[in-house]
Structure formats: C-alpha cells, structure tokens
Amino acid sequence: MESIALAAADKPARYRELLPQISALLDGEPDLIANLANTAAALRACVTAASWIGFYVRRGDELVLGPFQGKVACVRIALGHGVCGTAAAERRTLIVPDVERFPGHIACDAGSRSEIVVPIFRAGRAGPGDVVAVLDLDSYDLAAFDEADAAGLAPIAELLGTLAW
C-alpha cells in the first residue's frame, strides 16, 4: 500500500472508497497501535475538512490519547466529560456543529469549531460489546460534520472493533 487513493468528491462516495483501503491496511497486521495510526492517516487523506483526527482509548474510567493526526492534544478525558467522554458514556455518535454550544466541550485547540465523535465497540459474537475507544474528528469550520460522516465512519468503527483491544 503506497497511498490512499480517493477519486470521488462527495462524502458518501469518498467513505465508500476509503473503507476497503483501510481494511487492506489492517489486513494481517495484529498490532493495535500500528493499525490505529494508519487508520488516522488514511482518514486524514479522506476528510479534508478535519483539523484533527485521532483516537482516545478507554482505560478504566478514562479515555487516554491514542494515535492521531494533528496538533498535540489533551491526554486524559474522564468518561462522561467533553464530547469524547459523553459519546463513550452514552455509547452513541455525537455530531457537534458548534462546539461552543456543547456544555463541557474540552478545547484542546482553541481553533476547533465543530466535531464528530464515534464510539468503537469491541466486536463480539453477541453484537457490540464495551466501548474500547472513540474516534474523534475536529474541524476549524462550523458544522463540518453531518450524518454523511456518521454513516461513513460507522463501518470503519465497526471494523476497528475487531482489532486486538
């Protein structure tokens, strides 16, 4: 794999093109950190509106910074706090069009204006298990993320749920 190749201009098609490329990147590689790092880089190529893309991994009652693309960021977020901690605690994707309107938003980068956070559930035979991490994308633009991002990121999060957490 040399680079991520995306021809489409519209979001749903770009995510559709991205998914098999991420799948190919992860295929046969058991190392969790390597896989998260390459996924963050692949997403960076796809989601041009994002200023920061990365993972917070669950460690007990906290989320701890994982592989990411972007500026240095907050290291620890308590479950239930900020957009990331809320998405993890509520086990659902949060789209925040204006972070200033999200009570408790944690500003790692004062330039961030909007955000999407997608929980990653440990894959299990009986369906989604515990939240093992969240995938966080931030943007300097207001309302950069919408349902098309949530729909496009969902199968990526599902794929990541099968990794060696």
Q: What is the dihedral of CA 51, 77, 25, 70, to 10 degrees?
A: 20
Token couple for 57: 């991994």
User: Candidates 3-11, 15-23, 72-80, 156-164 — which segment interacts with ligand SME by CB under 6 A?
Assistant: 72-80
- Cα maximum dimension of the chain: 42
Quick check: 86 and 110 in contact, CB under 8 A? no
Footprint on residues 125-144 left by ligand SME (CB under 6 A): 136, 138
Q: Could you tell me the sign of the dihedral formed by the alpha carbons of 128, 74, 156, 165, in that order?
A: negative
For residue 149, state whether it binds ligand SME (rule: CB under 6 A): no
Residues 6+ apart with CB under 8 A from 21: 1, 4, 5, 42
User: Candidates 13-21, 23-31, 38-46, 74-82 — which segment interacts with ligand SME by CB under 6 A?
Assistant: 74-82
Query: What's the min distance (Å) between Cβ of 127 and ligand SME?
Result: 26
User: Candidates 11-19, 71-79, 122-130, 143-151 — which segment interacts with ligand SME by CB under 6 A?
Assistant: 71-79
For residue 112, state whether it binds ligand SME (rule: CB under 6 A): yes
Residues that bind ligand SME (CB under 6 A): 52, 73-74, 77, 82-85, 105-106, 108, 112, 115, 136, 138
